[in-house]
């Protein structure tokens, strides 16, 4: 059971980390709370299903197509839906909820609400101490780690990363460095949605596709961000693994724990908000003007 | 004229913060802008460097407030009042903002690199960094430190150093001495004098009139969004009305 918890915790922790970091990035740079973040993750899953089942592509090509298409979709949504109302936090919230539900309904129309599945990239499994570890699980885990590593390098080692970090710290002063805030926000939206779709692409062989599959990760992701501290990427990373493991422990160690899965995130979120509202690594933002 | 402001008016809602103001800075000068709190000194700098226009654009998309800007700003022979702030920086007009505002979660060296964002040649960036380190040795010894943990004086040096990274022609510095101990103030002013000796034109907003008047080639006294006097320091200090009413000396 301990091994089950570790495997499950590592995988869901990495998945939540990818989602939460993408969500934090666009929040940091443009102050956008993108509720549709995990809806993009869901759409990526359906893209792969469509590419493999309907068009007969290899799942790998399906993944590539899904990431590219969904990233473009995210940037278009940003340009025409979010950007015009960007300074209105409440409106952005409503617009992104609407976007998520619209995507959900569009997927229901096209693919109906039935459960669908996508084939693994690598079939088979091996045994550690009588616990089955699927190769796909390993693949998902390492792909997530690589994505996190690439993102870290992008943020810390490149000029674009410097612009993103500067804009996230102080939007006004970033302008004084010659950074085009609007362009950085657009690119960051692309990176953020790109991460969400990549996450969807690597997770979908492990899970079942249905139009409501964005809800649970959304709640987990929000909890991760609250736990880690809004705007802190480090906090999102650590918070994701804490919640991933907390969830795995509840599922495996408590009888019928799978039914309690959803409440883990919410309980932690409430606890954090009561005890330490700024989260583990909360960032205080420079006063906006 | 390197910088020329003509008939600039800035209103926040109905409050006129800058009132039909004209002023200018010649190449090589160190010009100071002094005046009581709320005179519009910072707003003037923010209007010149495009930040008021940016604010106007943001507020126009939300429900809060309304900003109007009129008049022209010319820099190096080019109209800049319709340009976005990040484009103005490319012309060599750099603004070192009020309250220093380093990128607090980033290291000192990352702050300097952000200052050099517009430069592409590695050698040039390294040269500028060395120049900044020469001017502010403390930044070199703290290059890996998170800038939010620096002292106020060090943060001010970082803010000026960051502004110097992009080869400014005109450096606008907003209240560099605020909140610093007297010793540190003196040091900051010394460094600003050195910046000017590097051949960089400086427009300095300050409250500390006594020091600034000694450094500056020309001074503007600002009150209620208008320039009410202009001239050399000792000349202004001789005028009783200006001294008592506007400078509080």
Range B145-171 average pLDDT: 96
The answer, yes or no, to whether residue A119 has pLDDT greater than 60, is yes
Per-residue pLDDT at B137: 96
Question: H helices of chain B, where?
Answer: 41-48, 51-60, 85-90, 108-115, 122-135, 137-141, 152-164, 182-197, 209-215, 233-238, 240-241
Interface of chain B toward chain A, CB-CB under 8 angstroms: 49-51, 54-55, 58-59, 61-63, 84-87, 89-90, 94-95, 97, 101, 103-106, 110, 113-115, 117-118, 162-163, 166
Size of interface A-B (CB pairs under 8 A): 78
The pLDDT, as a whole number, for residue A257 is: 83
Nearest to B62 among A87, A162, A178 (CB): A87
pLDDT value at A287 more than 60: no
Average pLDDT, chain A: 92
Number of structural domains (chain B) is: 1
pTM over 0.90: yes
- What Cα–Cα distance (Å) separates residue A12 from each residue in A233, A237, A272? 17, 12, 20
- Computed over every residue of chain B, the mean pLDDT equals 94
The pLDDT tens digits for B69-104 are 999 999 999 999 999 999 999 999 999 999 999 999
A4 touches chain B (CB under 8 A): no
Lowest pLDDT segment from A39-43, A218-222, B244-248: B244-248
Containing structural domain, residue A75: 10-214
Does B156 fall in a domain? no
Which residues in chain A have Cβ-Cβ distances shorter than 8 Å to B117?
159, 162-163, 166, 177-179
What is the C-alpha separation between B226 and A225, in angstroms, rounded?
A: 48
In a domain, B209, yes or no: yes
Is residue B109 in some structural domain?
no
Q: Summarize the confidence of residues A266-272 as an average pLDDT.
A: 89
Minimal-distance CA residue of chain B relative to A90: B62
Nearest residue on chain A to B55, alpha-carbon basis: A289
Check residue B64 and give its pLDDT: 73
**Token digits for A142?**
């390492």
How much is the ipTM here? 0.94
- b/e per residue B61-86 (b: at least 16 CB within 10 A): eeeeeebebebebbbeeeebbebbbb
pLDDT at residue A283 greater than cutoff 80? no
Nearest to B183 by CA among B213, B144, B153, B158: B153
Beta bridge partner(s), residue B32: B204, B219
Q: What is the pLDDT of residue A284?
A: 56
The answer to whether residue A71 is domain-embedded is yes
> Touching check for A83 and chain B: CB below 8 Å?
no
User: Residue B39 is part of which domain span?
Assistant: 3-96+170-246
Nearest C-alpha in A relative to B93: A176
At A127, give phi and psi (nearest 5°).
-110, 130
Q: Which of A176, A183, A278 has the most B C-beta neighbours within 10 Å, making it the best mutation to test the interface with B?
A: A176
Query: What integer pLDDT is reported at residue A121 of this predicted model?
Result: 85
* pLDDT one-digit tens code per residue, A171-211: 999 999 999 999 999 999 999 999 999 999 999 999 999 99
The token pair at B74 is: 């010319």
Q: What total number of domains does chain A contain?
A: 1
Q: Which of A177, A287, A288 to mutate to test the interface with B (most CBs of B within 10 A)?
A: A177
Sheet with strand B201-205: strands edge to edge: B93-96, B170-174, B201-205, B30-34, B218-223, B226-231
Of residues B239 and B48, which shows the higher confidence score? B48
B66 within some domain: yes
Residue-level pLDDT at A211: 95
The verdict on residue A254 lying in a domain is no
Inspect the interface and report whether the beta carbons of A166 and B90 lie closer than 8 Å. Answer: no
Nearest to A41 by CA among A197, A194, A192: A197
- Closest-approach residue (CA) in chain B for A282: B105
> What does the pLDDT read at residue A289?
38
The answer to whether the Cβ–Cβ distance between B49 and A159 falls below 8 Å is: no
| Interface contact flag, A180 B84, Cβ < 8 Å | yes
Partners of B147 on chain A (C-beta within 8 Å) are none
Mutate which: A82, A155, A173, A234, vs B, most B CBs within 10 A: A173
Which one, of B232, B222, B174, B164, lies nearest residue B195 by Cα? B164
Q: What radius of gyration, in Å, describes the C-alpha atoms of chain A? A: 19
Using one digit for the tens of pLDDT, what is the confidence trace for A8-59?
999 999 999 999 999 999 999 999 999 999 999 999 999 999 999 999 899 8
Q: What is the CATH number of the domain that holds B217?
A: 3.40.50.300
Work out the minimum CA distance from B242 to partner chain A, whole angstroms: 32
């Amino acid at each position: 059971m301990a091994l089950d918890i570790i495997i499950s915790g590592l995988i869901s922790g990495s998945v939540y980390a990818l989602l939460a970091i993408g969500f934090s990035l666009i929040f940091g740079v443009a102050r956008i709370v993108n509720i549709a973040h995990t809806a993009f993750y869901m759409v990526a899953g359906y893209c792969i299903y469509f590419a493999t089942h309907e068009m007969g592509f290899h799942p790998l090509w399906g993944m590539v197509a899904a990431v590219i298409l969904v990233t473009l979709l995210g940037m278009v949504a940003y340009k025409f839906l979010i950007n015009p109302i960007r300074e209105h936090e409440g409106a952005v919230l409503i617009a992104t909820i609407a976007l998520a539900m619209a995507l959900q309904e569009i997927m229901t129309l096209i693919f109906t609400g039935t459960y669908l599945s996508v084939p693994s990239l690598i079939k088979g499994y091996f045994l550690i101490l009588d616990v089955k570890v699927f190769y796909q699980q390993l693949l998902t885990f390492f792909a997530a780690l690589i994505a996190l590593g690439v993102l870290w390098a992008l943020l810390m080692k490149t000029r674009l990363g410097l612009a993103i970090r500067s804009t996230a710290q102080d939007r006004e002063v970033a302008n004084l460095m010659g950074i085009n805030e609007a362009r950085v926000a657009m690119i960051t939206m692309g990176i953020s949605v790109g991460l969400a779709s990549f996450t969807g692409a690597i997770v979908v062989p492990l899970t079942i596709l249905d139009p409501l599959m964005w809800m649970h990760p959304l709640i987990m992701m929000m909890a991760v961000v609250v736990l880690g501290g809004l705007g802190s990427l480090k906090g999102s990373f650590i918070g994701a693994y804490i919640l991933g493991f907390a969830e795995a422990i509840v599922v495996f160690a408590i009888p019928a724990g799978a039914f309690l899965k959803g409440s883990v995130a919410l309980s932690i979120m409430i606890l954090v908000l009561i005890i330490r509202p700024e989260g583990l690594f909360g960032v205080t933002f420079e006063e906006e003007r | 004229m390197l910088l020329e402001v003509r008939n600039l008016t800035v209103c926040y809602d109905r409050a006129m913060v800058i009132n039909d103001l004209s002023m200018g800075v010649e190449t090589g000068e160190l010009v100071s802008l002094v005046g009581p709190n709320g005179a519009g000194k910072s707003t003037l700098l923010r209007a010149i460097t495009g930040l008021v226009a940016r604010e106007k654009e943001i507020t126009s998309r939300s429900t809060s407030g309304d900003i109007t800007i009129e008049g022209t700003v010319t820099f190096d022979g080019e109209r800049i009042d319709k340009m976005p702030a990040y484009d103005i920086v490319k012309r060599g007009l750099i603004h070192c903002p009020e309250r220093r505002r380093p990128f607090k979660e980033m290291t000192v060296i990352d702050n300097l690199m952000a200052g050099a964002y517009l430069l592409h040649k590695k050698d040039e960036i390294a040269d500028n960094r060395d120049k900044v380190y020469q001017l502010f040795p403390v930044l070199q010894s703290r290059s890996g430190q998170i800038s939010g943990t620096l002292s106020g004086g060090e943060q001010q040096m970082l803010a000026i150093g960051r502004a110097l990274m992009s080869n400014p022609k005109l450096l606008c510095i907003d209240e560099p001495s605020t909140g610093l101990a007297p010793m540190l103030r003196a040091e900051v002013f010394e460094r600003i004098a050195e910046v000017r000796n590097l051949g960089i034109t400086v427009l300095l907003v300050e409250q500390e009139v006594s020091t600034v008047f000694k450094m500056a080639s020309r001074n503007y006294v600002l009150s209620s969004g208008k320039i009410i006097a202009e001239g050399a320091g000792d000349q202004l200090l001789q005028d009783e009305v200006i001294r008592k009413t506007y400078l509080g000396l």
